[in-house]
Amino acid sequence: MANPTLTYRTRGGDVTNAADLGVVFLSYRKKNVVYRNDVARDILDANDCAVWFDRNLTAGEDYNAEIDAALDRMNVFVLMVTPAAFDPAGYVMKKEIPRALERKIPIIPIILEETDMARLEEVLGDIHALDRRKPDEYEDGLKRALAMHLLTRDEKERIHMAQKESSASAARTIYYQGLGWLTGENCERNPEKGVQMITAAALSGEAPEALLRLAQMHKTGDGVTRNWQQAVEWYDQYTAAMEPHFGKNEDDDLSLAGAYDAKGLLLQSHGKLTAAKAAFAAYQQVCERMMTQYDGRQERALSISYERLGDICQAQGALSDAKEYYLKDLAISERLAAESEGTQAQRDLSISYYGCLGDVCQAQGDLSGAKEYEGTQAQDDLAVSYYKLGCLNGISKKERTDFLNEAHSIWSKLYENTRIDEYKRRMDTTRIAQFALKHGCPCSGCAWRSLIATAIITLIILQAIGVIDVREWISNLLGLFGR
């Protein structure tokens, strides 16, 4: 049987030819189809790629042929993680995961429901998973993971040029040849050979992009054993190599800032708060220098650096410092949100979180539809800033209440305009924080802890056996108490 024609979802709509794009295979159980479109949208928001998933296929020969063809063409395997995903009798466990592991395809697990993480590790090994229930970490993590594993058009072109070279004497040529072997671009995938060539290029001192790639590889376990300490060392070598060249190229400077940020997040995730704070401080300094160098174009990156530092200070108990950083973040977020309203010139900057929706509307000639999504990024950033301040213990109850109310109001308006589920989830999270702040118990006795723990366990059991939808139940319950 000839290979079937596959249909991919992209930012510009459905296509049957995705040769110029990286391909993401979205793996899920039919029981979890309710999450499918949301996760596909998350992927497209994070990367200009093509997403394939089965669309109402029936069991049998056609089903198997399409799945096989899609598995053969994938560059990244995204697994939607729920307890159902690891059913031994399911197609995901029997066919899809084994094929991805056999071909050494990068796997990105996305956690959607409470799942036995030991089971996840048993199936996939020591692999980093993204948790969709933690929006701030999830959005950034997904963007970074996809950028790591999906080649850009420029990278593909450079790989093809390097593969034509008869002599691989230049470090960058060696790097791109190695990247070709690592990803299987225009050749049979050979991760071991790819790692050797990328490492050789990195050690030459003439290909800083190889240093960054090795940092990312050790962070995610792509082609090498995952090792966060080794990743930090490669990040250090990359930033040391790039610092002397600051100001010559904006894209290079953005990569430098991103490396400091990625290093800080990695250290923070392993409890190294002091070292993480130093990395985020370096990230902030680079952002401030870019603000001067590039006429204020990197204001949002600076805002993120303040948020990162605020998170660290809060975790260290330095609440006054945390408040100072959060307020700096809020000031920028308010300014960007105000500028994005009604300003067509800001459209490309403001539409990123759900940018594909506005782009599709515009491509279809629906300018009013495109306008509906204008400014969502800036508004969402502003709501996040308010929410962070609302959760900060070092300020008065009234201030926290006001901040949470502002966050809820913004997300409520965004949800009303877009009907995007992520805004609904953020509204629910904010309402829980509002409820806890308003009705919080003045004591911290073990009886209350026991009662809360029992309630949580009960809800988990009821969710697992399908008696209730916990999110909807909590939302309805909070409605009884007012907002």
Q: What is the pLDDT of residue 324?
A: 93
Q: What are the pLDDT digits (tens) for 237-264?
A: 999 999 999 999 999 999 999 999 999 9
Residues 121, 43 within the same domain: yes
Q: What is the pLDDT of residue 459?
A: 59
Residues 404, 347 within the same domain: yes
- The residue-averaged pLDDT of 90-107 equals 89
Residues 14, 112 within the same domain: yes
How big is the CA angle at 21 (ends 72 and 130), to the nearest 5 degrees?
75
**223, 245, 267: which is the final residue of a domain?**
245
| pLDDT score of 231 more than 90 | yes
Q: What residue numbers bound the domain in which 451 lies?
A: 446-481
Number of separate domains in the chain: 5
Long-range Cβ pairs for the range 259-265 (8 Å, 24+):
259/212, 259/215, 259/235, 260/235, 260/286, 261/304, 261/305, 261/308, 262/144, 262/215, 262/216, 262/219, 262/235, 263/215, 263/231, 263/232, 263/235, 263/236, 263/239, 264/308, 265/140, 265/308
**245, 280, 309: which is the final residue of a domain?**
245
For residue 103, the domain's CATH number is 3.40.50.10140
For residue 278, the domain's CATH number is 1.20.58
> d(Cα 102, Cα 74) in Å, to the nearest integer?
13
Number of C-beta neighbours around residue 419 at 10 A: 9
The DSSP H or E segment spanning 453 is helix 446-464
Establish if 328 belongs to a structural domain. no
Establish if 140 belongs to a structural domain. no
Q: Answer whether 185's CB lies under 8 Å from 179's CB.
A: yes
Establish if 139 belongs to a structural domain. no
- Which of 103-107, 270-274, 386-390, 396-400 has the highest average model confidence (pLDDT)? 270-274
| pLDDT score of 11 more than 60 | yes
Confidence of residue 63 (pLDDT cuts 50, 70, 90): low
Residues 90, 200 within the same domain: no
Closest CA to 6 of 45, 49, 63, 61: 63
Residues 216, 238 within the same domain: yes
Residues 241, 158 within the same domain: yes
Residues 241, 254 within the same domain: no
Residues 82, 20 within the same domain: yes
Residues 116, 16 within the same domain: yes
Q: What is the pLDDT of residue 458?
A: 59
| 187, 377, 407, 434 from 41: Cα distances, Å | 30, 15, 23, 29
Residues 286, 206 within the same domain: no
Establish if 326 belongs to a structural domain. no
Residues 299, 359 within the same domain: no
Residues 14, 126 within the same domain: yes
